[in-house]
Amino acid sequence: MNQQELKDKLAEIKDKLTDIQQPLDDRISLLCEAENAYAVNKFLFEEVPLRFVIATGIDSDDCFEVLYHYAYDQLGFLITLKAFIRDRENPAIESIAPFLPGAEWIEREIHDLLGIDFKNHPDLRRLILADDWPEGVYPLRKKMAGEIAKQWPCETSVRPTTESPARRTVKLSKPVLAVGPFHPLQEEMEFFQLSVDGEIVTDIDMRISYNHRGIEGISETLQFDQVPFLVSRVCGICSASHPLAYVQAVEDIAGVTPPERALYVRVIINEFERIHSHMLWVGLAGHFIGYDTVFMWAWKYREPVLDLLEEITGNRNNYGNVKVGGCREDIPDETVPKILQEIDKLEKKTEMLTKAVLDDPIIHARLKGIGVLTKEDAIKYAVTGPTARGSGIAIDVRRDDPYAVYADLDWKVITQPEGDVFAKAVVRLLEVLEAVKIIRQAVKKLPKGPVAVEVKEIPPGEGCGHAEAPRGETFHYVRSDGGNRPVRHKIRAPSFVNVPSFRASCIGEHISDVTITLAAVDPCYSCTERLAIVDRQGSILHGYEELHRLSCEKTARLKKEIGPPEWKLEDF
Amino acid sequence: MSIPLNILFWIVVIPGTVVLGLIASWIVRKVSALVQWRVGPPLLQPLYDIMKLMGKEILVPQEAQQTIFIAAPLVSLAGILLLSIMLWRIAIVQTAFIGDIIVAIYLMTLPSLALILGSSASASPHASLGTAREMKLVMGYELSLVLAFIVVIIKTGGQISLAAIAQQAPVLSISGFLAFLVALLCIQAKLGFVPFDIAEAETELGSGVLMEYSGALLAVWKLAQAVMLVALPLFLVMVFLGGFGTAGLSLVWGIGKYVLILVLLILIKNTNPRLRIDQAMRFFWFYCGITMVIAIILAMIGYYSGIKWL
Amino acid sequence: MNWKMWSLKKSPWVFHVNTGACNNCDIEIVNLLTPKFDVERFGIKLVGSPRHADALLVTGVGTRQAVIRLREVYRQIPKPCVVFCIGACACGTGIFEGGYHVAGPVDKIIREVDPNAIIAYVPGCPPKPEAMISGVVKALSAI
């Protein structure tokens, strides 16, 4: 569809909307009342169809707003549906999770943080607040901000008991553990809890709260130019993509375009991050299936990339290099030949490894057909990044809604149709090679000029910015009222939508494939450590170490059946 | 043996065995590190580990069977020390008694049984996973080990006295060689080395048999393992390789034999991946068991027909 | 100085806890424990159970959910022991100060359980593996 057809299509639901706005060429806002939100969402997701990005809950003075963000990738449009909930005493809205499983988690989060009730939600339990967080206290409501830590201190826990408070929030197990006293630390391995029938996984539940630092809340207390440092630490390994998405959102509000050199520098740093993040993943994946030398090798070849980034930006991670209006630091000309040299070396090694992996019959047998995420499930769970591209969905923010200078460079979007772990591995390996190509072009075309423009004021308005992080689309929504701080800053990391899809790809799999299936989604490292299999009574049958061992043993078994691989890492 | 030397022996034997055990465990760690192109720990590291553990507080789980929990490591250490004393006595003083090899076999099982008892007394579901595995492993290799010793007893004409067995070198025959190989692998499992470190590795990874132990009790377990590194290869030397001499050249020869076994253990440790419990059991029950039955048959044929090399 | 602390310095076994971090420090810790840096030279070994540990490597800011676990882990470690706060977040909540879900910093939580705890700080965001080794060795020699 072209632009006009899209707008006509959206106009079909006009009777349920109160207004349609187009603040920018590729940003559309639809306004409606809460009662009509369900019907409009269903229309947008199923009829148009659009890709669901995330939902944002906002506490405005006289009402609550729930913003549903959608993307139309063919044109690079971001379409936001704003639903107004006028009842401040008992805010409620119809849940869209029944037809959009990808929205389950975000509705639980909005419920935790703002107290909005989602009717007919399949499972509205606490998601991201701690177990000892008091009921009825909603941290993102305006009146609560700043007072919470003082008034509700953490409980000082007494001697460990058999009943873990966290148990009541996990529906798979009974409140009281059937088997004697535990290490509390062992029973906290309930980040992912899988139920099994024999050796096949039947159900999954996930508990996340350990990493919740309340960044969206802290962001509202910082000034616009301090926020990039904060969001860079949302996730250590996507630490260039988050600030970039945020800064793009604010630049949309302010109507600012950074100078060309800044855009090139942003591209170079982000692609380097993609390279070292994918190398980290390759190492971990190798570790999970028992190819430990791949682990050592991949992490060893990450090091020159990190050293180069340290030379350019001053740190191996958390670069702090983007700001509203451009970049904080330039790439010195002396570094350019070094960059070219390093990526040449890296390209050779990665090509050899890719070829070896693509030809290795054991890796084929081990990873093909495992952890399949079908295209339909991938759309329903709204996944992005290599997880989506490995299931045949050709979305990539760099091509769909080009930011920085991706539109001026020559590169390909890598997709694979099968949806299994092997497909995702191939996507990531080939993306490293594409990233090398991009960096080479960007470095050669690097124009002269300043690296930032001065931005004095951020006018009132709202902006959506997204960037393609190594794991998928990072989306930031920023609302400003003309002051110094964001009124609302919504951060959606790609893993937030990718990790729940683990449920679709893992049920029905053998327990020896569980670790690699989770790793294929590429969550943050510490997520995969917290994986356990429980029986009906809730006692742990297999911990993470056991699952890892099973995974390595399956590989060894396949090695024996098929014969050892023909390539050795020592040759590289 | 004269009285002063006798007294010297009794004073030196236990500390000496402990020191030898610590040195042996350092050798194992250092060689493993060199194989991985690393530098490895300093010479006194095993000693530092034990000292540090002795200085930590002992935490006993609330629901554990306290008597067994505390007694298990002590039983393990006592058993293996007794075995060491017996072996040194036979080697140096040449006192032996009929049936001492049977006593030795019993004493060798004590550490494994103590491990199983200790970990099941911990009342921890994670340790219990490791306990079940350890039990299966013990059932697997004990039988093969006993069969290997039976081969030796047959070859030496029914002598169940270690001193007499130590005069001969049963390894220089087909059945004896097979028995030696099997016994070596069983010792590997008993020591908890790769590829049979099913219980040991889980300790490192968090769900092992020794998970609940801390402080001085853990130190005793580590000490027992260090002493096992002296006693078990020594036992193999005496049973298969022709004894451990005490004077001049035969002493050097004896030390050489001991080092050979240590080297074999380290080699096997560093060149193999870890086995799963059912693979290990199949290995011991099926492969080792059949091999041992064949070896016994060969040994009997060899003995009754006077062919030495069978 | 008594022999307990001396032998602890010679053979510090470490246990790693993440109390809500961006994972950069955790990745650098994993880097640290690979054979490339060979921490076995210092007697350092990664153990899987806090009961075997002498040193606790804590990363992260101490979120409310994670500190429940951190307190229990600290109680399970047999004393004497040392707590290493790795990274700016663990040393003093870093950039997350004042967040509603932040119960840290880590040293405050540890001192709630044990006012006499020995705590060492290795700052950085994230500290490089070499910096971590240097920090650990310096802290141990200063005890």
Q: For residues B234 and B91, what is the distance between their CA atoms, to the nearest angstrom?
A: 10
Residue C9's pLDDT is what? 85
CB contact under 8 A, B125 and A539: yes
Q: A188 and C23 in contact by Cβ < 8 A?
A: no
Q: Are the CB atoms for A147 and A134 separated by under 8 Å?
A: no
C39 belongs to a structural domain = yes
DSSP H or E run through B82 = helix B66-88
Residue A538, φ and ψ in degrees, nearest 5: 95, 5
Q: Does the pLDDT at position B207 exceed 80?
A: no
Q: Which residue of C has its CA nearest to B39?
A: C41
B125 touches C at CB < 8 Å: no
Using DSSP's 3-state secondary structure scheme, residue C8 falls into helix
Q: Which two tokens stand for residue A452?
A: 């930032």
Global pTM reads: 0.80
Query: Does residue C4 fall inside a structural domain?
Result: no
Block means of pLDDT (10 residues each) for chain A, length 572 residues? Answer: 86 88 89 90 89 91 90 89 90 91 90 90 85 82 63 46 32 22 33 71 76 84 90 85 92 91 92 91 79 74 85 86 90 88 88 81 81 90 91 90 88 90 91 92 91 90 91 92 90 86 83 79 58 55 65 74 64 54
What is residue A571's predicted lDDT score, i.e. its pLDDT? 56
The pLDDT of C8-14, averaged and rounded, is 87
CATH number attached to the domain at A3-147: 3.30.460.80
Q: Which of A134-148, A555-569, B8-22, B232-246 has the lowest mean pLDDT?
A: A555-569
Q: Calculate mean pLDDT across residues B82-110.
A: 84
In this predicted complex, what is the ipTM?
A: 0.86
Percent of chain B with pLDDT over 70: 92
CATH of the domain at C121: 3.40.50.12280
Q: How many CA atoms lie within 13 Å of B255's alpha carbon, on the beta-carbon side? A: 8
Token digits of residue A449: 């000029």
- Return the closest-CA partner of residue A270 out of A106, A135, A471: A471
Q: Please say if the pLDDT value at position B46 is more than 70.
A: yes
Mean pLDDT, residues B34-42? 81
| Domain A215-498 annotated CATH 1.10.645.10 | yes
Mean pLDDT value across residues B161-166? 77
pLDDT value at position A152?
Answer: 55
Q: Using CB atoms, list chains with 3+ pairs below 8 Å to chain C.
A: A, B
Establish if B205 touches chain C: CB-CB under 8 angstroms.
Answer: yes
pLDDT at A118: 92
Better pLDDT: A306 or B124: A306
Chain C residue with Cα closest to A218: C99
Which is it for strands A77-85 and A27-33: parallel, antiparallel or unpaired? Answer: parallel
Measure in Å the smallest separation between the Cα of A175 and chain B Cα atoms: 18
Domain hosting residue C61, numbered range: 13-142
Is the separation of the CB atoms in B144 and B289 below 8 Å? Answer: yes
Domain count for chain C? 1
Establish if C69 belongs to a structural domain: yes
Residue C3 lies in a domain: no
Q: Does B211 touch chain C (CB under 8 A)?
A: yes
- Buried-exposed string A38-66: b where 16+ CB fall within 10 A, e elsewhere: bebbbbbbeebebbbbbbbbbbeeebbbb
Could C79 and B208 be called an inter-chain contact, meaning their C-beta atoms sit closer than 8 Å? Answer: no
- CB–CB contact B56 C80 (8 Å): yes
Q: What angle do CA B230, B234, B237 make, to 5 degrees?
A: 150
Nearest chain A Cα distance for residue C14, angstroms: 16
Q: Do C35 and A296 touch (CB under 8 A)?
A: yes
What pLDDT does B305 receive? 84
Q: How far is A545 from chain C (nearest CA, A)?
A: 10
User: B75 pLDDT band (50/70/90 cuts)?
Assistant: very high
Predicted confidence at residue A174, as pLDDT, reads 23
Taking Cα atoms as reference points, which of A410, A243, A247, A413 lies closest to residue A313?
A: A243
Rounded to the nearest angstrom, the gap between the alpha carbon of residue A112 and the centroid of all alpha carbons in its chain is: 20
Which carries the bigger pLDDT value, residue A341 or residue B245?
A: A341
Q: Which of B72, B82, B74, B88 is nearest to B104 (CA)?
A: B82
CA distance A159 to chain B (A): 11
Q: How high is the pLDDT of residue A145? A: 55
Tell me the residue length of chain C.
143
CB within 8 Å of A144: residues ≥ 6 apart: A137, A138, C100
Residues A270, A264: Cα–Cα separation, whole Å: 10
Chains with 3 or more CB pairs under 8 A to chain B: A, C
For C62-117, write each residue's pLDDT tens digit: 888 788 778 888 888 888 888 999 999 889 888 888 788 888 788 888 988 888 88
pLDDT at position A182 is 30
For chain A, report the end-to-end CA distance as a whole number of angstroms.
Answer: 48
Query: Taking a C-beta distance cutoff of 8 angstroms, is the pair C120, C135 a contact?
Result: yes
What is the average pLDDT across B109-123? 87
- Look at residue A185 in the predicted model and tell me its pLDDT: 34
> Exposed/middle/buried for B252, CB within 10 Å: 0-12, 13-18, 19+?
exposed
d(CA A256, CA A224): 14
Instruction: Name which residue leads in pLDDT, B91 or B117.
Output: B117
pLDDT in tens, C49-75: 788 888 898 988 888 878 877 888 888
Residue extents of the structural domains in chain A: 3-147, 215-498
Q: How many CA atoms lie within 13 A of A135 on its CB side?
A: 1
Q: For B255-303, how does the pLDDT look when each residue is reduced to its tens digit (9 = 90+)? A: 888 888 888 888 887 776 666 677 778 888 888 888 889 888 888 888 8
Output the pLDDT for position C138.
86
Q: What are phi and psi of A193, to 5 degrees?
A: -120, 125
How high is the pLDDT of residue A468? 92
DSSP-based helix, strand, coil % in chain A, nearest 5: 45, 15, 40
Angle at A292 between CA A291 and CA A294, to 5 degrees: 75
pLDDT score at A541? 59
Chain centre to alpha carbon of residue C66: 14
Subunit contact C7:B55, Cβ cutoff 8 A? yes
Nearest-CA distance B61 → chain A (Å): 9
The two most distant CA atoms of chain C are separated, in Å, by 43
